[in-house]
Amino acid sequence: MTSTRRDFLKKSAAAGALVSAPLIWTPDKAFGRNLNSKPTVASIGVGGSRGRYNQGGSIARKAAKLGKMIAVCDVDSVHTAEFNKDFEGKLNEYTDYRVLLEKEKPDVVTIGTPDHWHVPIAIAALRAGCDVYCEKPLTLTIQEGIDVRNVVEETGRVFQVGTQQRSENDNRFLKAVAIVQSGRLGKNVNAYVAIGGAPNEGPFESTAVPEGLDWDFWVGPAPKADYSEERRKQFRWWFEYSGGKMTDWGAHHIDIAQWALGYDKSGPVEVVGKGTFPPIVPDDFNWDAFLNGDAKLPSGFNTAVTFDIDLKFKNGSVLNVNDVYKRPDTNIEFGNGILFEGENGRIFVNRGKLEGKLIDELSEADNEEINELVANLYKGKTPGHHMRNFFECLEDRQQPISDVGTHHRTMTSCHLCNISVMLGRDLKWDPKAEKFVGDDQAQALTSRRSRDSYLVASGT
């Protein structure tokens, strides 16, 4: 049985509502506990030796240092056992996140599953009264972002997305945003983002499901598929579960660029560009049918391999997204990072450096002013530790530095890029209505049907 992905999320939200009503916070009591006690934490999706992506385990361990870890959930029993060793085997272990929410009623949930599970689990956790830390990219579709944003607003829960560049990396990205917003580069600033290309291997052979892994649950709301190591361990290169480099590194760099340009609460009005796909994807492929489970591709990587896309904003600014950025006229070339350029100069930032002539010429007074702007950007808290920012916000009930609303706008831009490449044409977007202008085919790609086998808790 299938339903639209929006129906899936609504049903998931309703199922979560049956688990527990949202907790009400008052100044002297948060999480239904004394403020002097640590919030209880349960982690859903923790990775392990059998998986390539172990960020779920990393964020869970960081949360455990600030809260009280009580339970772990993963569809792979090997992962839960490995994680539990760090806690002397004292954590309660689960395969079904809905059962965990019902039995444990944690104050906080961390989510480190593959991307296609992020929003269904997040909505269930929010409805169960939990505050949530979820790894990026938060959403698989634009509609998912609208839905989870609405539930956060409705429930009043605290929600941090794992875009650590907003907190860490020696404040390089925060300083870059502050410099752009200070006007030092000029009034007309463009951003050029390079996030690297994606692999194009496949098809891959199906193999036996490893013992201890509930593969059908791993696939979950996505179309049914046979198991292969590549499908699981490199899920980011499959549109069924993620969005390729566009939502992987784009969730970081597009986020920073859009923030600096002042559109983190809105978005572009036009998408112009092109891209290439792996050989298994035919020309004029029907992506809508494929993503809704009505068409098939050979079992191989299918996300965009190369791309060159302009996101155009109402004020005339352009955010270019490329796999590798090249400018022959200036000998500028980079494979990962953000170049901001205005009439007064340019700066470049990535996780290893913040550089440019303008940076070199900053005076002590300039640096003091930029540091003040950074403090304002970080909402008065001290940057440096993304998980700490989340836990500080659990106490004062403010939304963290990577809130759902701004991250949804980032992910919308990432999805717009993918949809434009899928359809092979330029697109108009209304950021206020959050809809494509005059393009029903593009609009159809803002949501998906989903298998709904996992909407009702098993009761075990």
| pLDDT tens digits, 140-179 | 999 999 999 999 999 999 999 999 999 999 999 999 999 9
pLDDT at 25: 34
List Cα–Cα distances, 245 to 32, 46, 57, in angstroms.
40, 22, 22
One domain, residues 155 and 179: no
Whether the CA torsion 251, 15, 73, 38 is positive or negative: it is positive
Pairwise CA distance, residues 330 & 304, whole Å = 27
Q: Contact at 8 Å (CB) between 311 and 268?
A: yes
pLDDT at 35: 52
CATH code at position 192:
3.30.360.10
One domain, residues 157 and 180: no
List Cα–Cα distances, 8 to 120, 147, 161, in angstroms.
8, 11, 22
Dihedral of CA atoms 276, 280, 282, 286 in degrees, nearest 10, equals -100
Asked if residue 327 is part of any domain, the answer here is: yes
pLDDT at 47: 87
| pLDDT tens digits, 248-284 | 999 999 999 999 999 999 999 999 999 999 999 999 9
User: Which residues face 314 on adjacent strands?
Assistant: none
Helix, strand, coil shares of the chain, percent, nearest 5, are 40, 20, 45
Asked if the model's pLDDT at residue 198 lies above 90, the reply is yes
pLDDT at 456: 42
- All residues at 6 or more sequence positions from 76 whose CB lies less than 8 Å from its CB, including other chains: 48, 50, 51, 210, 212, 213, 214, 218
Q: Contact at 8 Å (CB) between 391 and 380?
A: no
The structure tokens listed for 403 are 């809130």
Asked if the model's pLDDT at residue 354 lies above 60, the reply is yes
Asked if the model's pLDDT at residue 32 lies above 70, the reply is no
Query: What is the mean predicted confidence (pLDDT) over 292-297?
Result: 95
One domain, residues 316 and 223: yes
Local structure of 97: helix, strand or coil: helix
User: Which residues face 346 on adjacent strands?
Assistant: 341
Pairwise CA distance, residues 289 & 299, whole Å = 16
Please state the φ and ψ torsions of residue 68, each to the nearest 5 degrees. -115, 105
pLDDT at 37: 86
Asked if residue 114 is part of any domain, the answer here is: yes
pLDDT at 199: 97
How many domains does the chain fold into?
A: 2
Closest to 324 measured CA to CA, from 407, 249, 269, 242: 249
Amino acid in position 1: M
Asked if residue 8 is part of any domain, the answer here is: no
Query: What is the mean predicted confidence (pLDDT) over 216-240?
Result: 96
Pairwise CA distance, residues 243 & 241, whole Å = 7
Per DSSP, the residues of 211-228 read TTB-HHHHHTTSPP----
CATH code at position 94:
3.40.50.720
pLDDT at 88: 97
Count of CB atoms situated within 10 Å of the CB of 282: 9
The terminus-to-terminus CA distance of the chain in angstroms comes to 23
The structure tokens listed for 311 are 């996101």
One domain, residues 320 and 232: yes
How much of the chain, in percent, has pLDDT values that exceed 90?
87
Query: What is the mean predicted confidence (pLDDT) over 11-28?
Result: 39
Pairwise CA distance, residues 304 & 456, whole Å = 35
pLDDT at 49: 56
One domain, residues 92 and 116: yes
Asked if the model's pLDDT at residue 346 lies above 50, the reply is yes
How much of the chain, in percent, has pLDDT values that exceed 70?
89
Which contiguous run of DSSP H or E holds residue 396? helix 386-396
Asked if the model's pLDDT at residue 31 lies above 70, the reply is no
Give the chain's mean pLDDT. 91
One domain, residues 109 and 161: yes
Local structure of 43: helix, strand or coil: strand
Asked if residue 147 is part of any domain, the answer here is: yes
Query: What is the mean predicted confidence (pLDDT) over 334-349?
Result: 97
One domain, residues 162 and 189: no
Asked if residue 459 is part of any domain, the answer here is: no
pLDDT at 4: 53
Pairwise CA distance, residues 166 & 306, whole Å = 26
pLDDT at 328: 87
Pairwise CA distance, residues 410 & 253, whole Å = 9
Query: What is the mean predicted confidence (pLDDT) over 29-37?
Result: 51
Domain that holds residue 248: 172-383+400-454
- All residues at 6 or more sequence positions from 135 whose CB lies less than 8 Å from its CB, including other chains: 55, 56, 59, 111, 112, 113, 118, 161, 162
Please tell me what DSSP assigns to residue 26: B
Asked if residue 6 is part of any domain, the answer here is: no
pLDDT at 440: 98
Query: What is the mean predicted confidence (pLDDT) over 52-66?
Result: 88
Between β-strands 325-327 and 318-322, what pairing exists: parallel, antiparallel or unpaired? unpaired
Asked if residue 90 is part of any domain, the answer here is: yes
One domain, residues 137 and 199: no
Final residue belonging to a domain, choices 166, 181, 216: 166
Asked if the model's pLDDT at residue 29 lies above 60, the reply is no
Whether the CA torsion 108, 407, 44, 102 is positive or negative: it is positive
pLDDT at 329: 87
Asked if residue 153 is part of any domain, the answer here is: yes
Asked if the model's pLDDT at residue 33 lies above 70, the reply is no
Asked if the model's pLDDT at residue 66 lies above 80, the reply is yes
Pairwise CA distance, residues 277 & 149, whole Å = 31
One domain, residues 160 and 187: no
Count of CB atoms situated within 10 Å of the CB of 73: 28
Q: How many helices (H) and strands (E) does the chain have?
A: 17, 21
Query: What is the mean predicted confidence (pLDDT) over 451-456?
Result: 64
pLDDT at 451: 85
pLDDT at 454: 63
Final residue belonging to a domain, choices 132, 166, 200: 166
Final residue belonging to a domain, choices 108, 141, 166: 166
One domain, residues 155 and 61: yes
| pLDDT tens digits, 393-439 | 999 999 999 999 999 999 999 999 999 999 999 999 999 999 999 99
pTM of structure: 0.92
One domain, residues 308 and 420: yes
One domain, residues 283 and 179: yes
Confidence of residue 213 (pLDDT cuts 50, 70, 90): very high
Pairwise CA distance, residues 31 & 40, whole Å = 9
